[in-house]
Amino acid sequence: MFSLSSELLFFAEAIFLAGCALGCIRLGKEALSAFFVLQLTCANLFVLKITTLFGLSVTTTDVFTIGSLFTLACLQEHFGKKTARKSILIGICMAAIFSILSYFQSLYPPHDAKFEWVPRIFFSSIIACFLSDRIDLFLYSK
C-alpha cells in the first residue's frame, strides 16, 4: 500500500464527500438526509483516531464534520430549512442509537482482545455534532 500525506488524504476525502453529497441531491432529500446521518455516524465511530493535519493534532473525523455541514447546507438550500432541521434530529437520534448498540456489543465477553467502552467521548461527540449543526442552520438559514 502506498503512503499519502495527511493533508492530501484530507482533501481527497473532502472532495469525495462533497461529490457524494452532490450526487445524493439528484437522488432526493431522503438520500441526502441518509448521507448526512451516515457522516454523523462515521464521525462518532472514528472520533478516537488522532493525526497531525497542517501541524495540528486533530481527529480524523474532522472531514466528516465538514462534510456533514456541507450536506446540511445542501439540504437546506435544495429542500428547505424544515427538511434540514428534521435531518439533524434524525441524525442525532441515530447517533445515540448507534452509541447504545455499541455499548451492548461491548458487554459481550471478548474472545482474545479487550474492548474498552468510552461513553463520555461518544456522547460528547453527539452533543457537539448537534450543537454545531443547529448553529450552522441558524447562521446560514435564509
Write down the H helix ranges in the chain. 6-27, 29-45, 62-79, 81-107, 119-140
As beta bridge partners, residue 56 has 53
pLDDT of 119 reads 66
Phi, psi of 18 (to 5 degrees): -65, -40
Each residue's pLDDT, cut to its tens digit, for the chain (142 residues) gives: 455 788 999 999 999 999 999 999 999 999 999 999 999 888 888 888 888 888 888 888 889 999 999 999 999 999 999 999 999 999 989 988 988 888 888 788 766 555 555 666 767 777 887 788 788 888 877 6
Q: Is the dihedral of CA 86, 68, 118, 57 positive or negative?
A: negative
Question: CB within 8 A of 10, min separation 6: which ones?
Answer: 53, 62, 63
Residue pair 42/61 in contact (Cβ under 8 Å)? The answer is yes
Question: What is the pLDDT, as a whole number, of residue 112?
Answer: 58
Answering whether pTM is above 0.85, one says: no
